[in-house]
Structure 1
């Protein structure tokens, strides 16, 4: 195990700065997920930690050692790639053994480690096969096994599940999480899928345009997003956003374009009369009520049996999603009166995007 620290880490390609002074402290044994939209810099940051990409500034510290100038092969890390990167002409056993053979590990020790890891990952019956004879999930297990046998200080995963189908991704998420509990190594995992991030991570680093937007435990990011970007990125379905101005007559009311008003929390947020704010409310924190403050025109309905999703728009064109338990008999074109659960809403400064939460 090893602690990983990033201290004002930067990366530039020519005049383009793609990683903009990131500070992170990943504790011994933590499962940290880098998440963000395509192009945010998460894979570049992982490659910088691994040593596959040189840094342009700052320090990367693994354990107690600054590794800026240490080659990738000497950092004590193991990386699992999106493409599996298995040797096609080798059997599974040979793929698992290759890294240990390169460092002159005794044959008996190699065989023992390969057998142990193969049983752990349930690929012991596949050791004589070649990658072309394996399914996607089996290839990914072999790629993970090749990393495990090296007993690295830190595991690095670069979108390892993106080539798998939806059902297999769910299974592999559980297997990687169980592997982390068993090995107790530090793991850093890159994904664009916030559901993977929420279900697997001890800590999540949300990245955008090469900058760190927020770092913390999954439910802290979900319950207390620092800004509009994190609020909209973390959570599925996406959070609803209603932009307007705080009433000059009553700071507990948000005036929407078009004249409708929505209640705001009486405390907990630092809104000021006349201020331009954006109210955020998750789809499962919206309700239907005959006396609801806003009228939503239904555009589509998804009935999933035990739950329903209703998609619509307010009079001012703002899109809304409702996630309700049970089977809701809404019809397309119908107007529903809806209301946010005031105690569950979030409030952001529209100009800066920052949360207006007091604490």
Structure 2
């Protein structure tokens, strides 16, 4: 059963269209992440679902009911904001109970819900403190708790971890994912951090310029990106790209020729190609190795990061940045020219002009 359906949803501010006909079908209990660069429209889309922003066109349905004209308070949703949005003059207990009191929940039920939710989120020892006396992580737990006590049909998270330090972000990421497993509610989560998207989501919607570039399971998007934008945005470090031409096409094999004239023999069976076509070869940093013999590409090293158990080598090839993600440690030096080999089983080919994948469906 689909709990949330967006059908050709649009949003304009005057003559500027910021959401350009979004279609999404989010099933009951799914954890869906909206991800994309700043300004792509993901937070606007979330606010339209919540009812905090009106829509210019299309339909939003929750549980089979069109809610275009339903007030935010009547949609049965709960939202967790980036800024926490806690009442500073209230204690944690009062922040948790405020929404329940507004809908005339009995004191007994309020106490019961606050007790169970505060224990689940490990904030039961903080109930008599005010927000100013809490750490960032504790404030975020309270903000989440305020949403949980309302028992909404859908949780909406608007970049809830962006104000936390790196280590706490990782911890809270795990806690939100665990909360989803325990409650089983539908959750929609907005972030610009694709690592959060990959590690938390059942489904990811990748947005750019107010449009959904791809919607699917995290590994599906990672392994079979629709276009160069998605391929470069999903994955850390980002995918490498080298432009060239299909110099020769021979059955299930092709010869890819780079701008500098280097030729690379590649499998062609999985792609829709024509000889002479301008194509972009994509390959991820962990699918490169330093070649001991014949190399596919020559890379000039700009920098290397040694992290102990792994290394990152940053270089240049044909004016394109190239990153290698290597296991263990490496001794390459700045300015050195190294040969690299590409794992043929994990290549991607894109039409250079349109940016679309050339992989067969």
Shorter-chain TM-score tier: over 0.9
Mapped to 1, the partners of 2:145 and 2:265 lie a distance apart of 54
CA contact (8 A) 2:247 2:257 kept: yes
Structure 1 residue runs without a partner (length 5+): none
Query: 1: distance between equivalents of 2:26 and 2:187?
Result: 9
Q: Does 1:291 align with 2:294?
A: yes
How far apart in 2 are the matches of 1:137 and 1:249? 56
Question: 1:252–1:137: structure 2 CA closer, same or farther, 3 Å change rule?
Answer: same
| Correspondence for 1:172 | 172
C-alpha separation in 2, matches of 1:278 and 1:295: 17
The aligned counterpart of 2:215 is 215
Structure 2 counterpart of 1:258: 260
In the alignment, what sits opposite 1:195? Answer: 195
Alignment partner of 1:307 is 2:310:
yes
Structure 1 distance, partners of 2:220, 2:12, is 31
Judged with a 3 Å threshold, the aligned counterparts in structure 2 of structure 1 residues 102 and 249 are, in CA distance, closer, same or farther, namely closer
Indicate the residue corresponding to 1:43 in structure 2: 43
For residue 118 of structure 1, report the CA deviation from its aligned partner. 0.2
Q: Distance in 2 between matches of 1:150 and 1:4?
A: 19
C-alpha contact (below 8 Å) 1:2/1:185 kept by paired residues: no
The residue aligned with 2:62 is 62
Q: Distance in 2 between matches of 1:320 and 1:263?
A: 19
CA distance in 1: counterparts of 2:296 and 2:54, whole angstroms: 55
Residue aligning to 1:342: 344
1:277 aligns with 2:270: no
Contact 2:248–2:254 at 8 Å: present in 1 too? no
TM-score normalised to the size of structure 1? Answer: 0.98
Tell me by how many angstroms 1:177 deviates: 0.2
Offset at 1:109? 0.5
In the alignment, is the contact (CA less than 8 A) between 1:33 and 1:197 conserved in 2? yes
Once the two structures are TM-superposed, the CA of residue 2 in structure 1 deviates from its matched residue by 7.0
Counterpart-to-counterpart distance in 2, 1:249 and 1:12: 46
Distance 1:287 1:69 in 2: 56
- Equivalent residue number for residue 31 of structure 2: 31
**TM-score w.r.t. structure 2 length?**
0.98
Q: Secondary structure at the match of 1:319?
A: strand
Alpha-carbon distance in structure 1 between the residues aligned to 2:242 and 2:42: 30
How far apart are 1:264 and its partner, in Å? 2.2
SS in structure 2 of the partner of residue 99 of structure 1: helix
**Counterpart mapping for 1:123-142 below 5 A:** 123-142=123-142
How many equivalent residue pairs? 358
RMSD of aligned residue pairs (Cα, Å)? 1.1
Q: Residues 2 and 29 of structure 1 are in contact (CA less than 8 Å); yes or no, is this contact kept in structure 2?
A: no
What's the CA shift string for 1:132-162, capped at 9, x where partnerless? 0000000000000000000001000000000
- State how far apart, in whole Å, the 2-side matches of 1:166 and 1:73 are: 34
Taking the aligned partners of 1:265 and 1:13, their CA distance within structure 2 comes to 48
Q: 1:194 offset after TM fit, Å?
A: 0.2
Partner of 1:326: 328
User: Unpaired segments of 5 or more residues in structure 2?
Assistant: none
Alpha-carbon distance between aligned partners in 2 of 1:276 and 1:158, rounded to the nearest angstrom: 40
Q: CA deviation at 1:262?
A: 2.3
